């Protein structure tokens, strides 16, 4: 039996990883992924959204909702209002269209950056999602994503659907947006170090380098999503997708790891504290995820290996990748 799956945000970091995963694992005969990117439909427009879903939802088993307006720290700071409005529209339209198309299973992607800024005790668990406001730097994106979680629960309660939300920590990997201004921290640093090496200049890192983060490789996210699908996961609970809290790493050490991969002199790295750092820490628990994966063969990609793969991909695709 072939599973027919609609993937919104199919051209993004996790979306492309899903297509790459079934290709590498030779699962194309088991899964038929239907891509939905911004080139196919403007998900901010209700009329376009419902027409697209009605034309593509026949015999669809599940929707993987990854589409979002995203960016790094500085894009969020500068465009909080726009980030809120765009993501609210996307999520409301997709949820409504999925429901009206008769699709009863959906996995929607949130982010750990939406958790409260002030936490009394780490690590953060799924139950803490609404226990306070998010960090000011990304409140537009964060509140829009929180509303996706709220609306998902409402659909489940009212219509007995099987919609769940996954909450990945900081995702990185191949197919990312390597923009120097609007990319997330790892792809932006990779691009910055690449240019510093090429132009024989200082590798500039915005901020002090002190904030701590957990990172997860995008191919690991794809594998976990397929695990949920294959095992027909039906618990209507949010699930944090993250490595262990002990794997938390500072932005300073991330920059050093990237420099090492480029064979770049670490003495030529400059941390510019004139730039804001963003949230210092947001350590999350992955206990719920580990219980779900307990009897599987899943193993997280180690950070060093993931960075190496990401940099190799970037170098091979530097002329055509998003940047």
Residue 127 belongs to domain with CATH number: 3.40.50.720
Over 90: is that where the pLDDT of 277 sits?
A: no
What is residue 48's predicted lDDT score, i.e. its pLDDT?
97
Tokens describing residue 173:
């990997």
Over 80: is that where the pLDDT of 22 sits?
A: yes
**pLDDT of 61-73, one tens digit each?**
899 999 998 876 6
What residues form DSSP beta bridges with 234?
Answer: none
Q: Per the structure, how many domains does the chain have?
A: 1
Does 124 fall in a domain?
yes
**pLDDT of 96-153, one tens digit each?**
999 999 999 999 999 998 999 998 889 999 999 999 999 888 899 999 999 999 999 9
**pLDDT of 230-253, one tens digit each?**
998 888 899 999 999 999 999 999
Phi, psi of 192 (to 5 degrees): -65, -45
What residues form DSSP beta bridges with 166?
Answer: 109, 239
What is residue 73's predicted lDDT score, i.e. its pLDDT?
66
Does 149 fall in a domain?
yes
Does 74 fall in a domain?
yes
Residue 76's pLDDT band, with cuts at 50, 70 and 90, is low
Does 88 fall in a domain?
yes
Q: Which of 31, 74, 122, 141 is catalytic?
A: 141
What is residue 70's predicted lDDT score, i.e. its pLDDT?
81
Contact 259, 271 (CB under 8 A): no
Q: What is the 3-state secondary structure (H, E, C) of 170-181?
A: EEECCCCCCCCC
What is residue 278's predicted lDDT score, i.e. its pLDDT?
79
Contact 303, 249 (CB under 8 A): yes
Identify the helix (H) or strand (E) that includes residue 167.
strand 162-168
Give the three-state DSSP class for 34.
Answer: strand
Give the three-state DSSP class for 64.
Answer: strand
What is residue 197's predicted lDDT score, i.e. its pLDDT?
95
Does 197 fall in a domain?
no
Does 207 fall in a domain?
no
Distance separating alpha carbons of residues 36 and 7, to the nearest angstrom: 6
Mean pLDDT computed over 6-10:
97
| Residues spanned by the domain of 171 | 3-175+214-246+282-301
Does 206 fall in a domain?
no
Over 80: is that where the pLDDT of 2 sits?
A: no
Phi, psi of 15 (to 5 degrees): -55, -50
Q: Is 183 exposed, middle or buried (0-12, 13-18, 19+ CB in 10 A)?
A: buried
Residue 79's pLDDT band, with cuts at 50, 70 and 90, is confident
Pick from 185, 65, 179: nearest CA to 137 = 185
Contact 18, 45 (CB under 8 A): no
Does 204 fall in a domain?
no
Residue of 156 and 79 predicted with greater confidence: 156
Active site residue 143: no
Give me the percent of the chain exceeding a pLDDT of 70: 98
């Amino acid at each position: 039996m072939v599973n027919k799956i609609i993937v919104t945000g199919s051209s993004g970091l996790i979306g492309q990883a899903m297509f790459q995963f079934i290709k590498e694992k030779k699962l194309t005969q088991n899964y038929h992924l239907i891509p939905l990117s911004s080139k196919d439909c403007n998900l901010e427009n209700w009329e376009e959204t419902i027409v697209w879903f009605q034309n593509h939802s026949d015999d669809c088993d599940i929707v993987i909702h990854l589409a979002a307006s995203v960016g790094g720290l500085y894009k969020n700071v500068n465009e909080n209002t726009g980030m809120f409005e765009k993501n609210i529209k996307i999520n409301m339209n997709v949820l409504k269209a999925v429901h009206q198309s008769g699709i009863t299973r959906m996995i929607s992607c949130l982010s750990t950056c939406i958790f409260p800024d002030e936490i009394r005790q780490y690590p953060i668990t799924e139950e803490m999602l609404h226990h306070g406001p998010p960090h000011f730097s990304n409140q537009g994106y964060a509140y829009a994503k929180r509303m996706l979680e709220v609306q998902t629960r409402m659909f489940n309660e009212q219509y007995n659907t099987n919609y769940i939300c996954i909450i990945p920590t900081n995702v990185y990997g191949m197919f990312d947006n390597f923009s120097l201004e609007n990319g997330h921290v790892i792809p932006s640093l990779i691009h910055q170090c690449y240019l510093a090496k090429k132009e024989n200049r200082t590798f500039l890192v915005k901020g002090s380098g002190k904030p701590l983060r957990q990172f997860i490789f995008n191919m690991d996210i794809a594998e976990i999503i397929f695990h949920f699908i294959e095992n027909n996961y039906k618990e209507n609970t949010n699930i944090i997708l993250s490595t262990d809290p002990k794997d938390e790493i500072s932005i300073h050490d991330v920059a050093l790891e990237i420099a090492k991969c480029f064979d770049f002199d670490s003495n030529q790295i400059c941390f510019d504290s004139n730039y804001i750092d963003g949230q210092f820490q947001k350590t999350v628990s992955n206990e719920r995820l580990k219980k779900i994966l307990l009897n599987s063969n899943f193993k997280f990609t180690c950070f060093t290996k993931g960075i190496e793969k990401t940099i190799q991909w970037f170098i091979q695709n530097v002329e055509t990748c998003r940047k």
